[in-house]
Chains A and B, each alone.
Chain A
Amino acid sequence: MRQISLRLNGVARTVEIEDQVLLVELVRSLGLTGTKVSCDTEVCGACTVLLDGRPVSACTTLALEADGRSVLTIEGLAKANQLHPLQQAFIDNFAFQCGFCTPGMILAAKALLDERPSPTAEEVRRWMEGNICRCTGYQSIVDAVLDAAGRRP
């Protein structure tokens, strides 16, 4: 067992973990089940969380790597019941169906918009290549990200 300290969705947390525990296992064990596991091999993006603002696959990231860093999961995105512009844009553009890929999609998109606030459709597609959606056919997700970019102050 080892103790690590991290900022999880803005809150300082200290947790005891085994060395082999994965970041996705840690956050899910803390009740944050919005982060999903699908391929479990870093190809589908469903488990995407932001580690110091950068998107990582939590299924292949050791929880230890979060020590001293900040982790944002989907549960940390809305502020005081106010949806993040990306969340609202995903709703307004019907950018999900089953919703299993959605937390990872939204966080990947957030990292893009934080780095490049007004991306082109082509930049959105290229950035999001690591996130798979089996339901939508992707167009509505591209639309939602562009829509959210336009909404940001």
Chain B
Amino acid sequence: MPAREDGDPVERTRFRVAGTEARRADGVAKVTGAARFTVDLSVPGMAHAVMVRSTRAHARILGIEREAAERMPGVLAVLAGADLVAAGLHPYYGHVVLDHPALAVGSVRYHGEPVALVVAETKLQAAEAADLVEVRYEDLPAVIDADEALRPGAPILHHERGQRVGDEGMDQGEGALEGNVCAIARVQWGDVDAAFAKAHLVVEGEYRYPMLYGYAMEPYNALAFFDQGDLVVYSTAQHVYMVRRDLARMFDLPLARVRVSAPYVGGGYGTKSYTKIEGACAMAAHLTGRAVKLDLSVEEAMLTTRSDSSHIRCRSAFDRDGLLLAREFDIVLNSGAYTDNSPLVNSKTANRCFGPYRIPSLRVVSRSVFTNTVPASSLRGFGAPQGNIGGELQMDEAAEKLGIDPVELRLRNLAGPGEAILPGKRPLDADLREDLRCLVASLEWPGTGGVSVGFGVSASDAGAYPTSTAAVRIHADDSATLFTGSTELGQGSRTVLCQIVAEELGLSLERVAIVGGDTGVVPYERTTGASRTTTVTGRAVQEACRDARRRVRELAAQNEKVDVAAVEDAPAGVRVKDRERSYGEVIEGWFGAGGEVLGHGSVRRGEGFAQMPPFWEIGCSGVRLSVDRETGVARVEKLVTVGDVGFAINPALVHGQDLGAATMGMGAALREELVYEGEQLVNPNVVDYRVPRFSDQPPEIDLMLAERHDGAGPFGAKGAGEGAGNTIGSSVAAAIGRAIGVFPHELPATPERVWRLLRERDERARR
């Protein structure tokens, strides 16, 4: 049995604070109810807004009757998209394509789309008035299914495309964006056709991954007002700087005059990436001259953002020994009514679907497609589970057909540390073979006594662009404050970033404070997503600490009238003329009284991050499960994850990310799915859309860490947060396949689907 890699104890003791399970920086606030989330905020004179939503999937707006609503008590305004245009505002937002209106302009493209906004003194008044707003529509043909949306003659959602303002996921094939195609991604090398022609075995199939709702428990909400013409917005946004850019564009304001602040955020998981309702809320504040709060219900949140579903047609060619010769993927994503982040989801699906294997010939085409459904965007690990279900399951199916153990089949094909898995990208910074050996040892592969095992591996370019800045102030009493644009979503960024500051500056954690997530206060941060914070922001924080230390050395040199080269860093200060001076002594010595030192750090696509991605996010997880053949119910008995994170700056937080991601993955694998019947969602609430509960927890859980200090982040760390979930879908499907003799190709593997597979198999056996 391979040794577990829980970190080298010698290596770990090099650090004082990094690598320890320091308690969360937001702990007391969150257990006492004192933590303020956006939904808890109010300001004097605040009005409340409620949305009026489309009852049609695709229609022209002929008119909006608002007089009845306007006459209701407390109502300040009833706003529609046309009012925004008339007021000279730009109603469209989007970080890639400006096509998503804050309120529908001229037409609606999905059932539930915001059409009007009622602003009133109280939320109840706004809600009652909203019921009286009558919208007259002229129906247009709608298309819900992505494959149908690609057919000639399908209703077209966007006859004119919005202005392109970002390049995320649009670097390939923009010229061919015809009909309902939102984005195309291609990955290709080698002679695929020749490889398939000479293959010993070709595995071919279609696979489907469902559209999901992330259910962050704090639904989208925002509070907006103007302060001397400056726009101030508090919101549940993950990427406050991205939202700032959208709002600046919508209001023709300089970036400096838009302030977006995210206090504690009640769950993100990617669902709160990018702008959601901030534009509508800010426009209501602009047009009413009041502070306006807009807080959605969970049902409305479900009509705001979901994840892209995938339909994969793929085939894999193997030689006699199980070596991959070629893979080919044709993927269609159902991306809903607007662009949002689907181009990036699409390109990540394309570059993750084939897996971290040596593949001589490859052809991937992935298309993101507009449909008259809720707009799709990021959700934890976006693109990975959507493609993985095809790529990994075909490894399992091939192993069975070749009579080769599926672990062995993967070991033969996996790329090793330092090997390139995508031309021109960073070489693989992980040891996937060793990770897989650890995983299957804990899973007790191959499983016995009615328990079956499934597992998978992936390496993801998670889409983290390495633009990040941070500032650190060292105060005259030897304490420090970190300023970061990263938002605390629960992932523990405040804790980890403070640990990095404490480690770098030689301070105790109690002497480090953090201010985060407010564009009016903290330096620029591109996003809080793609598992980038520890690696990329963490490096900027390290740079800021080192810059602050450099400043302290300069001040000490001036104090002591020596050359700066004669000043050395000491654990919590400097050493000069054979004496240690604390930061405070140096600072007060230089200023005479009071004072502080400010350090700034930035990272960019250069230096350690010149090669993209900044790190490969590793997924290596699996399950032991049992299937009830009478009911089709699959029950996960044991979950195992290998967190290949380079170095766990806070192991407990990494475990939390791994188990959280895997639990979300199990929900999607076994139960979760947004279902359209006709033009409407049939389960747009958390009663019918059931997420994992305590009773769904596997009885046995093993969360392992692989720490090889091979990441580009601080102390050799690399990102966590998504990887553990990325392979759960295919793992569950593989385990069910081994239990019942048929691999499910469509997730979630609900009891009904499993039961049908069993019945079909029995019928085939009878024939």
Contacts and interface: CB of A to CB of B under 8 A. Distances in A.
A134 B691 contact: yes
22 contacts: A35-B33, A36-B39, A36-B218, A75-B33, A77-B32, A87-B32, A88-B31, A90-B27, A90-B31, A96-B490, A97-B491, A98-B216, A98-B265, A100-B218, A102-B30, A125-B694, A129-B694, A133-B217, A134-B214, A134-B664, A135-B660, A139-B697
B281 to A, nearest CB: 18
Interface residues of B, number: 54
A83 B28 contact: yes
B653 interface: yes
Contact of B31 (A106, A124, A135): A106
B179 interface: no
A101 interface: yes
Nearest to A29: B42
Q: In the complex, which of the residues B37, B214, B490 has the most CB atoms of chain A within 10 Å of its own CB atom?
A: B490
B590 to A, nearest CB: 38
B687 interface: yes
B33 A73 contact: yes
Contacts of B652: 94
A100 to B, nearest CB: 3
A97 B490 contact: yes
B685 A41 contact: yes
Given A33-B33, A34-B33, A94-B24, A101 B297 contact: no
A137 B24 contact: no
Contacts of B660: 97, 134-137
Contact of B26 (A37, A73, A99): A99
A131 interface: yes
B605 interface: no
B695 interface: yes
A33 B40 contact: yes
A36 B31 CA distance: 13
B492 interface: yes
B490 A74 contact: no
A66 B551 CA distance: 60
Interface string B186-224: 000000000000000000000000000011111100000
Nearest to A18: B124
Interface in A78-137: 78, 83, 87-88, 90-92, 94, 96-103, 106, 124-126, 128-129, 131-137
B656 interface: yes
Contacts of B43: none
A121 B748 CA distance: 28
B300 to A, nearest CB: 11
B141 to A, nearest CB: 34
A40 B687 CA distance: 11
B656 A100 contact: no
Interface of B: 21, 23-24, 26-37, 39-40, 214-219, 264-269, 297-298, 489-492, 652-653, 655-656, 659-660, 662-664, 685-687, 691-695, 697, 701
Contact of B269 (A37, A39, A134, A137): A134
Contacts of B31: 74, 83, 87-88, 90-91, 96, 99, 102, 106
A43 B32 CA distance: 22
Contacts, number: 159
Given A33-B36, A35-B33, A40-B297, A137 B264 contact: no
A8 interface: no
Interface string A35-71: 1111111011010000000000000000000000000
A139 B266 CA distance: 19
Contact of B219 (A38, A90, A129, A136): A38
Contacts of B662: 137
Contacts of B266: 36, 38, 98-100
A75 B497 CA distance: 28
A46 B215 CA distance: 13
A128 to B, nearest CB: 5
Given A44-B217, A135-B656, A99 B35 contact: yes
Contacts of B27: 90-91
Nearest to B301: A38
B492 A98 contact: no
A140 interface: yes
A74 B34 CA distance: 9
Contacts of A134: 214-217, 267, 269, 660, 664, 691
B67 to A, nearest CB: 27
A142 interface: yes
A4 interface: no
Nearest to B295: A37
Given A33-B33, A34-B34, A125-B695, A92 B490 contact: no
B33 A103 contact: yes
Given A94-B656, A97-B490, A129-B693, A135 B267 contact: yes
Contacts of A28: 40
Given A96-B490, A134-B267, A43 B28 contact: no
Given A101-B217, A138-B663, A132 B697 contact: no
